[in-house]
Amino acid sequence: MKFPLAFINCFNSSSDATETNQIIPYETGGRRFQRFSVFSYKELKAATHGFRASNIIGEGGFGSVYKGRLQDGTFVAVKVVSIELESMRGEREFISEITALSNIRHENLVTLRGYCVEGDKRLLVYDYMENNCLSQTLLGEELNRSKFTWELRREISKGIAKGLSYLHEEVNPHIVHRDIKASNIVLDQNFTPKIADFGLSRLFPKNISHITTRIAGTLGYLSPEYAISGHLTRKSDVYSFGVLLLEIVSGYPVIAFDIERGEHFLVNKAWEMYNNGKLLELVDPVLNGEFCGDEAVRFLKIGLLCVQEIASLRPKMSAVIKLLSSNMEEGINITQPGILADLKMLK
């Protein structure tokens, strides 16, 4: 991804970066970006009690996320980005995150408050999410799962779909997230889902159907055509959403292991049960039958629709929203899903 010079320059003044909570607006090519606060490292260190281990609320591929409290009493989430000096990984993801979030705002996307750049330190500051992420709550221990009613799971699923539809179809240039998964969906105090972690995201200029890039993402959520060819499209995110939807409804992990079957994938399990007419049995048992069976099965079918092996058969996210909100199942024709079961197939 290439970045405009005006954007790069906003990071280059060390004296600016140390001024606490200043606001830096910037504009390039007639495109005005949102204003971000620039925090000092000292301020964020104090907010997180010296980046105390007990303040860690999440771990990502490029750093840890800490709960912090600013001087005005506001709670925030502070991501400390790890920089690999040789490859500059981390630095690229840091810039990608700010680029992606610089001109977008949506109820179902995480809000970036600001950042810190001092020497080799790179930190991002977000709104604090009281209910952590899906992997820690809904998809964690059975006791946590039982707190997520069918109604709540339904609204979370719809919210994620709306956020992705906004990125894919309403933002210009379009944005492909590349790492949709349970740990990248955070929940606010009202359990409103918000897509987070845009470090791997890519911008799609108008009229571009795909870009070729290095493979990035998480096994189990990776669409097979992207993993094998490196050709990234919006349908790659649709595949990941389909896997996540199957998780939300079933409560099962994306990849499981047992002695009899060895390693097996949720997508495979759902496909087998669909073919055997037993999809209803895949619904999370902790719900104790307190859900609409027809609706739950429809959600599982939509998940399978999104993970079809042929990418062109997967629906756009705007179509997924309509399917999730409809009581009709007519026209849902599902073909075999694509699964990346062998890491040797990775490009």
Catalytic residues: 179
What six digits make up the tokens of 231? Answer: 């050709």
Q: Round to whole Å and give the CA distance between 113 and 72.
A: 14
For residue 152, what are the contacts with CB-CB under 8 A and spacing of at least 6? Answer: 191
> Half-sphere exposure (CA, 13 Å, Cβ side) for 193?
28
Is 347 annotated in a binding site? The answer is: no
CA distance 315 to 266: 20
For residues 195 and 302, give the distance between their C-alpha atoms in angstroms, rounded to a whole number: 20
Alpha carbon 71 to its chain's center: 30
Cis bond upstream, residue 173 (ω within 30): yes
Q: Is the dihedral of CA 261, 220, 131, 116 positive or negative?
A: positive
Q: Angle at the Cα of 174 (from 134 to 130), degrees rounded to 5?
A: 25
151 within 8 A of 249, measured Cβ to Cβ: no
Known binding positions for ATP: 79
Can you say which residues are annotated as belonging to the binding site?
A: 79
